[in-house]
Amino acid sequence: MVNLKLFTLWVLAILYSLRVSSASESFFINFGSPENVTVNNRTFDSDNNLGREIFDSTRATSVNTTDTNSLPKGDESTLFQTARVFTEESRFRFPIEQHGWFLIRLYFLPFLSSSRDLTTARFSVLAQNFTLIRDYKPSKTSVVKEYSLNVSTNNLSLDFRPETGSFAFVNALEVFRIPENLLPEEAGLIGTQKNLKLRTHAMETVSRVNMGNLSVSRDQDKLWRQWDSDSEYIVEAHFGTPVMNLEAVNFSAGGIKDDIAPVYVYGTATRLNSEDNPTTNANLTWTFKIEPGFDYFVRFHFCNIIVNSFGSKRQIVFDIFVNSEKVESIDMTEVANGTLGAPYFVDAVMRKARSREGALNLSVGGVMDVSYPISFINGFELLKLSNDKRSLDASDVVFPDGSSRNKSSNPSIGLIAGLSAALCVALLFGVVMFSWCVRKRRRRNRQMQTVHSRGDEQIRKNETGESLIFSSSKIGYRFPLALIKEATDDFDESLVIGVGGFGKVYKGVLRDKTEIAVKRGAPQSHQGLAEFKTEIEMLSQFRHRHLVSLIGYCDENSEMIIVYEYMEKGTLRNHLYDSDNPRLSWRQRLEVCVGAARGLHYLHTGSTRAIIHRDVKSANILLDENFMAKVADFGLSKTGPDLDQTYVSTAVKGSFGYLDPEYLTRQQLTEKSDVYSFGVVMLEVLCGRPVIDPSLPREEVNLIEWAMKLVKKGKLEEIMDPILEGKVKLEELKKYCEVTEKCLAQNGIDRPTMGDLLWNLEFMLQVQAKDEKAAMVDDKPEASVAGSTVQFSVNGVGDIAGVSMSKVFAQMVREETR
Ligand SMILES: *[C@@H]1O[C@H](CO)[C@@H](O)[C@H](O)[C@H]1NC(C)=O
Ligand SMILES: *[C@@H]1O[C@H](CO)[C@@H](O)[C@H](O)[C@H]1NC(C)=O
Ligand SMILES: *[C@@H]1O[C@H](CO)[C@@H](O)[C@H](O)[C@H]1NC(C)=O
Ligand SMILES: *[C@@H]1O[C@H](CO)[C@@H](O)[C@H](O)[C@H]1NC(C)=O
Ligand SMILES: *[C@@H]1O[C@H](CO)[C@@H](O)[C@H](O)[C@H]1NC(C)=O
Ligand SMILES: *[C@@H]1O[C@H](CO)[C@@H](O)[C@H](O)[C@H]1NC(C)=O
Ligand SMILES: *[C@@H]1O[C@H](CO)[C@@H](O)[C@H](O)[C@H]1NC(C)=O
Ligand SMILES: *[C@@H]1O[C@H](CO)[C@@H](O)[C@H](O)[C@H]1NC(C)=O
Ligand SMILES: *[C@@H]1O[C@H](CO)[C@@H](O)[C@H](O)[C@H]1NC(C)=O
Ligand SMILES: *[C@@H]1O[C@H](CO)[C@@H](O)[C@H](O)[C@H]1NC(C)=O
Ligand SMILES: *[C@@H]1O[C@H](CO)[C@@H](O)[C@H](O)[C@H]1NC(C)=O
């Protein structure tokens, strides 16, 4: 009886979950992989989980790449590692609850697998009977193709059709509903009074551009759209100046939500450079490649984020052109009745007859007779519309004179010659690479066999060849103690490169000459063991350019040893103060901040549940031989709050001086606690002094208190590291202090997210780089700081060297609870 009840409950639960999952109408699929992967906050399910009603996966085989080096960089790379191969026509049917706009993304990377060479694939892809791709011959690099279409059937159909004798493949796929107001019902045809209805067309995204010389990555966009930097399209870059002012964007004015375009698009712009010359008379122009014979939907994004420097009364009027045809006059005083920062966009369609050239030029230009004319644009989107043969493929174009651009028919002799020459070079290159790889692999294998003669199963299992120690095996490599003793001369004191709360850190060298850092836990404390475990789990789960990589660990004989990649330049702290190392330049400091922020941003957003580092400080940011920053020491890290909670309640841990006051008083931990600690690091970076320095006069002991007081008074130069004097422009210093101050806000909600922070830092770095380039002309470049000897002696963790610290602490707590 009870069992029956349970069973009913179980069935109900399953039915409910089915209903819920189809109601979300989102399908993210990682083809060929047995695992689900989370990329930028959405989970791509293994295609093994696909319901039969969507696709019968038994009819297709999965393949793995054998060459992980060819994978693109970045978080998306895991999606490209595997694929599904279709040898016959295959149809997906995605159930749709409500008619409307959907977005499809297809991921392709033709790799070499053990059973197939995907570059030989030839196939067509259709969605709802629209030809998205015909006779596709995959290019060598990874491609993400994006389409939007209006679905008014109960299923969205997607067909993969191999050419006879060939096959089709796909690495990953996204299908999801987009907001209905994202695309208009119709748009005006440029140069006419007519409108074109859009819902009867499928659209392919050709270019999506963020002005202001910065790209916007998929994780910064609600619909995971990639926005390229305009710098690759702008024609005469010296006419333009990038502008950024994220704070100015006001989504409550103008009635546009941030799903139209994120704040990162509206908060940056490229403006006509007219400050030096009041009579500037020029257009800013960007040029885009297009395929002749199609209509194109264009969208121009505007947001007045620049007017403040001219006063708000300033009239701003300019025109936008497409291929010399005027599209519209923009009068900023009319946008949302002149509210500053109101996002705004203009849509239009460019007819095919006007685009036989294969290029689309976008221009914005000032209206004549205005001194210091202002014109600018924040973003631009270019979408190809399907033609009346329901196709988006260039081979389906028929020009008025009857000619077509069929790709496969009579290619010219020159093309054939070029192709065969390229083929020869590629072959030669391939042969050389292949033999090189084989040699390298053999050598490695031999080394590994001698080094690890004990025979560890994890190593045996790994057959892909590349680097065995650094393999992506999930748990990391368990080193024999003997090997670690050998690498560190039996933990020789002369090899100690750091001492922390956890124990000592040694430099070591493996037999294959790999340099390593060995952290050896002091004899058991219970807490040490927990942190040891956390650190290994975290590090083996997360791999990122800006997180220190785990090489392995050793728990033999109750040892707690963690082996990391060796970071030649040691800690950030030791390049700021209290050491003989040359001090970092301002640009290096910004680069380090950007790197560390990237690592933390990845921790916060790289998986469905955020990871909070909890111990961000300058001694936990390490620098490699090129001064690239990596975040280290994950012993205190914690998984962030569940979706239904806003914080994790936990005992306070972390390093003195860096602790988030909110966390300190309420024991509530969020990602913003890391942001606070990062703000403290930014202060250290600027001021070049420790967070707590008992040797200083009383009011200067606490860096945060002292610096923030002076910042509020506007005495920015007084807190700056004297070494930097004259090297940082006042406005950049201001911006830096402003951002730092926000990170140090009392309440977490007032602090920026790591993503916003990263964005700001990147922009500052870019400005600095530009300034330096300009300065190079008459100034000799600064001597580089390279060449310093390897040294990193980490002082005790909180390094609260006695001295009336309890007083400072008490005062701090009082300050926060006030
Ligand atoms: C992947 O996610 C699905 C639910 O979306 C779940 O049923 C399945 O067990 C997961 N697979 C793995 C390997 O985690
Ligand atoms: C991740 O997704 C959740 C739920 O859809 C959302 O609330 C959250 O803001 C997203 N986070 C990011 C960084 O996009
Ligand atoms: C949608 O797919 C389901 C399952 O394959 C099928 O039963 C249904 O008839 C399809 N509906 C339409 C309109 O094609
Ligand atoms: C692909 O690799 C995964 C693990 O990396 C493995 O489980 C799977 O069996 C492989 N599939 C094929 C077809 O080789
Ligand atoms: C696609 O074409 C087939 C046959 O031509 C037709 O039965 C089907 O309804 C069409 N589907 C859509 C979504 O237009
Ligand atoms: C597009 O969607 C609308 C409603 O959302 C529907 O009425 C219309 O028939 C659809 N048009 C096409 C061509 O699919
Ligand atoms: C755009 O940024 C790149 C590097 O990010 C830089 O080299 C270039 O000079 C910048 N262009 C402008 C116009 O600022
Ligand atoms: C944003 O716009 C609304 C509507 O115009 C206005 O009431 C509000 O003050 C604006 N907010 C800011 C911060 O300017
Ligand atoms: C676009 O601009 C480029 C560079 O200014 C010019 O060479 C080209 O002819 C223009 N193309 C069109 C279609 O206006
Ligand atoms: C800007 O471009 C438009 C269209 O090509 C042209 O009519 C106008 O004269 C240009 N303005 C300047 C100042 O070059
Ligand atoms: C602009 O002002 C007019 C009249 O005052 C008002 O009707 C309209 O709603 C306002 N528009 C916006 C976007 O605030």
56 and 151, same domain (yes or no): yes
Q: Which of 103-107, 312-316, 722-726 has the lowest mean pLDDT?
A: 312-316
Using CB distances shorter than 6 Å, the residues near ligand 1 are: 35-36, 45-46, 49
Q: Is the CB of 249 under 6 A from ligand 8?
A: no
Residue 600 pLDDT greater than 80, yes or no: yes
Residue 598 in any domain: the answer is: yes
Domain hosting 553: range is: 452-565
Ligand 10 atom nearest the C-alpha of 363 is 2
Q: Is 615 a catalytic residue?
A: yes
Q: Are 298 and 349 in contact (CB under 8 A)?
A: yes
Q: Which ligand is nearest to the CA of 46?
A: 1
Q: Tell me what pLDDT residue 652 has.
A: 62
Q: Are 629 and 623 in contact (CB under 8 A)?
A: yes
Q: Dump pLDDT digits (tens) for 17-61.
A: 343 334 468 999 999 988 899 998 899 999 887 877 788 766 778
CB of 34 closer than 6 angstroms to any ligand 4 atom:
yes
Q: What does the pLDDT average to over 605-631?
A: 88
In-domain check, residue 6: no
CB 349 within 8 A of CB 190: yes
Q: What is the CATH number of the domain that holds 474?
A: 3.30.200.20
Tokens of 349: 């369609």
Whether residues 191 and 299 share a domain: the answer is yes
Residue range 121-142, pLDDT digits in tens: 999 999 999 999 999 988 888 9
Nearest CA to ligand 7 atom 2: 213
- How buried is 725 (Cβ within 10 angstroms: 0-12 exposed, 13-18 middle, 19+ buried)? exposed
Angstrom distance (rounded) from CA 216 to CA 121: 32
Same domain, residue pair 171 and 60: yes
Q: Is 484 in the same domain as 507?
A: yes
Ligand 5 centroid–CA 451 distance in Å is 63
Is the pLDDT at 350 greater than 70, yes or no?
Answer: yes
**Taking residues 620-625, what's their average pLDDT?**
92
Q: Report the pLDDT value the prediction gives residue 527, as an integer from 0 to 100.
A: 63
In a domain, 47, yes or no: yes
Band (534; pLDDT cuts 50, 70, 90)? confident
Over residues 245-258, the mean pLDDT reads 88
Whether 584 shows a pLDDT value over 80: the answer reads yes
Pick from 49, 50, 474 the residue to mutate for probing ligand 1's pocket: most ligand atoms within 8 Å of its CB. Answer: 49
* Burial of 72 (C-beta count, 10 Å sphere; 0-12/13-18/19+): middle
Q: What share of the chain is helix, strand, coil (3-state, %, to 5)?
A: 35, 25, 40
With a CB cutoff of 8 Å and minimum separation 6, the contacts of 389 are 131, 396
Report pLDDT for 370: 64
Find the range with the poorest average confidence among 66-70, 255-259, 269-273, 439-443. Answer: 439-443
Considering the candidates 47, 221, 393, 615, report the single residue annotated as catalytic. 615
Last residue of a domain, one of 177, 212, 238: 177
**Cross-sheet strand order for the sheet of 503-509:** 477-478, 550-554, 561-565, 515-521, 503-509, 496-499
Strand partners, 82: 64
Quick one: pLDDT band at residue 420, thresholds 50, 70, 90? very low
Is the pLDDT reported for residue 6 higher than 70?
Answer: no
Compute the distance between CA of residue 557 and CA of residue 761 in angstroms, rounded to an integer. 45
Q: Is residue 806 part of a domain?
A: no
Domain identity same for 687 and 720: yes
Measured by CA distance, the residue closest to atom 14 of ligand 10 is 282
**Tally of structural domains, the chain:** 4
Helix axes 754-776, 586-605, angle to 10 degrees: 160
CATH number for the domain spanning 91: value is: 2.60.120.430
Residue 419 lies in a domain: no
What amino acid is encoded at 376 in this protein? F
Residue 178 pLDDT class (50, 70, 90 cuts): very high
Max mean pLDDT range (67-76, 478-487, 619-628): 619-628
Mind listing the pLDDT tens digit for each residue in 195-242? 999 999 999 999 999 999 999 999 999 999 999 999 999 998 888 889
Decide if pLDDT at 179 tops 50.
Answer: yes
Nearest residue (CA) to ligand 3, atom 5:
53
Among 242-251, 649-658, 771-780, which range has the highest average pLDDT?
242-251
DSSP state of 227: B
Q: What is the pLDDT of residues 475-508, one digit of tens each?
A: 457 788 888 888 888 888 888 888 776 778 899 9
pLDDT of residue 147: 97
Helix (H, G, I), strand (E, B) or coil at 627: coil
Q: What is the pLDDT of residue 805?
A: 31
Rounded Cα gap, residues 535 and 527, in angstroms: 12
Residues 531 and 579 grouped into a single domain: no
220 C-beta closer than 6 A to ligand 2:
no
What pLDDT was estimated at residue 640? Answer: 66
pLDDT 10s digits, 741-767? 999 999 999 999 999 999 899 989 988
Atom of ligand 2 nearest to the CA of 605: 13
577 and 538 within one domain:
no
Mark whether 147 and 93 lie in a shared domain: yes
Contacts 24+ apart (CB under 8 A), 561-564: 561/479, 561/481, 561/484, 561/518, 561/519, 561/520, 561/521, 562/518, 562/519, 562/532, 562/535, 562/536, 563/479, 563/484, 563/508, 563/516, 563/517, 563/518, 563/519, 564/516, 564/517, 564/518, 564/519, 564/632
Same domain, 166 and 52: yes
Q: What is the pLDDT of residue 642?
A: 54
Q: Are residues 77 and 219 in the same domain?
A: no
Mean pLDDT, range 82-103, rounded to an integer: 92
User: What is the rounded CA–CA span in Å between residue 258 and residue 495?
Assistant: 53
CA R_g for the chain: 29
Mean pLDDT of the chain: 78
Token pair recorded at residue 268? 């940056």
Of 428, 389, 421, give the one whose Cα is nearest residue 405. Answer: 389
Within-domain flag for 435:
no
Q: What is the pLDDT of residues 557-575, one digit of tens each?
A: 888 888 888 999 999 999 9
Q: Which stretch of DSSP H or E encloses residue 12?
A: helix 2-24
Domain assignment of residue 745, yes or no: yes
579: CATH: 1.10.510.10
Q: Give residue 644's pLDDT.
A: 52
Bridge partners (DSSP) of residue 321 are: 326, 363
Looking at the structure, tell me whether residues 468 and 391 fall in a common domain.
Answer: no
For tokens 């420790």, the residue is 690
Contacts for 333 with CB less than 8 Å, ≥ 6 apart = 315, 316
For residues 413 and 660, which has the higher predicted lDDT (pLDDT)?
Answer: 660
Statement to judge: residues 334 and 387 lie in one domain = yes
| 642 is a domain residue | yes
Binding residue numbers: 519
Binding-site residue ranges for ATP: 519
In whole angstroms, give the CA distance from residue 207 to residue 298. 10
275 lines ligand 9 (CB under 6 A): no
